[in-house]
Amino acid sequence: MDMNYDILSYDELPDDEAAMLKADAEEAERGYTDEQLSEALKRTPGRPLAVGSTPASNVIRVRLDDERDAKLERYMRKHHMSRSNAVRTLLDKALAEI
């Protein structure tokens, strides 16, 4: 699999993402206490148990045609999201209109 990456500067990111990235970098530069590091080591890697206010236990499989898949891929890249997060976000937007 051939992967290409672009290196972006802060001014090429949306303002909210640039601010979040700067804040995270500043936090890392300050360093972490032993207690914070100990708590981080206790967490297990993997999928989140919750992606909202309740546990994420429902799985939906959807077949997409190439055009919809390409649109979803563009949305994911534009917003720097995973496929699952993009689908949840778009679903929330659509359901908010009901």
Contact yes or no for 76/82 (Cβ under 8 A): yes
pLDDT per residue over 10-28, tens digit each?
788 888 888 888 899 999 9
d(CA 38, CA 26): 20
Q: Tell me the per-residue pLDDT of 61-96, one tens digit each, with 9 for 90 and over.
A: 999 999 999 999 999 999 988 898 899 999 999 999
Give the pLDDT of residue 11: 84
Phi, psi of 83 (to 5 degrees): -60, -45
CB of 42 closer than 8 Å to CB of 35: no
Specify the DSSP class assigned to residue 10: G
Query: What is the four-CA torsion angle of 10, 12, 17, 20, rounded to 10 degrees?
Result: 0
Question: What's residue 55's pLDDT?
Answer: 77
Report which DSSP code applies to 47.
S
